[in-house]
Amino acid sequence: MVFFNGIRFLTPTTLAMQPAKTALWCLRLLCFCVFAGRAWQHLRWDAPYRALLWSETFLAPVFERMGWQWQYWVSHSDVYIGKGIKATGVFFAVCAVASLVVNGKHRMGRYLLPAGGFMLLLLALLYWKEKFFFTGELIEYSAQVICPFLLYALLYHHTTSEKLMLAGLVAVSLTFIGHGLFAIGYYPVPGNFQQMMVNFFGLPETVARRWLFYAGVMDMVVAAGIFVARLRPPLLVYAACWGFITAFARLVANYDAHIPLYWLNLWLFETLVRIPNGGLPVFLMLVGWEKGKNE
């Protein structure tokens, strides 16, 4: 531990000696990234709430029972939905700050963290609806959604490392299965997947498609192999590296030197919300390290 102007900083040596504290701060940062990314998305861009609020299949029968006119709602509600999206962005921003500062004594975190987690789950469900209810689309958000719940469990329920490890492993596994199903072509391969391989790695399109398939196969290997104790450490290292690569690929592959501020404005939040894809495996490695020290 070193001090500078009264502020304490953790050195690499201290971090190595205190894996539990390092794991906690790792989880805090993951929550911050997800919440901050979603806050930026809601405040600067848009979010898919209209997929539900303008869904005639889901809501028109409800409106009819209540005697409301569906067409009037659709034609007059956009401004209110927009304001609601901005308000949700403020809520996510508050959650981002709270994830860094709350502890077990703060009642605010007891409510904010789960509420933020449920809002992330709602977003995942809305994106799932937008993408034709593909199961892979839903489960690939698992790493993002679980982080606030893990932090809540760690701060307020002192959940054991075994339970944290199991929940985290399931989330990582589901996330990689979701990515893998798209990468191997089980679902239509998103055009941006292949384009990012071309732009990020500089590969020809045919080679990029082939390597995308190999990456999808490795996603499946990771999803199953992390539950085998002997295979877990190297696979978590791979998962962390590949998760961070796919997160930052959004920034690198879409870089435009002519409009750098617009580029950051558009793509930074896409990277932030995917940081848990690589960060959650890091958290699990730290939890496993702490568990090994205590045995």
pLDDT of residue 20: 80
pLDDT band, residue 295 (cuts 50/70/90): low
pLDDT of residue 292: 67
Q: Where are the domains of the chain?
A: 9-294
The proportion of the chain whose per-residue pLDDT surpasses 90, expressed as a percent, equals 67
Mean pLDDT over 145-149 rounds to 98
Q: What is the chain's alpha carbon radius of gyration, rounded to the nearest angstrom?
A: 21
pLDDT of residue 152: 96
What residues contact 210, with CB distance under 8 A and at least 6 apart?
Answer: none
pLDDT of residue 28: 97
DSSP string, 27-80: HHHHHHHHHHHHHHHHHHS--TTHHHHT-HHHHHHHHHHTT--HHHHHHH-HHH
Mean pLDDT over 238-248 rounds to 96
Q: Is the per-residue pLDDT at 9 higher than 50?
A: no
pLDDT of residue 39: 98
pLDDT band, residue 256 (cuts 50/70/90): confident
Q: Where are the beta strands (DSSP E) in 174-277?
A: none
**Among 28-37, 187-196, 197-206, 244-253, the range of highest mean pLDDT:** 28-37
Mean pLDDT over 242-262 rounds to 91
pLDDT of residue 4: 35
Which residues are registered as beta bridge partners of 9? 2
Question: Of the candidates 87, 88, 94, which has an alpha carbon nearest to the alpha carbon of residue 109?
Answer: 94
pLDDT of residue 104: 84
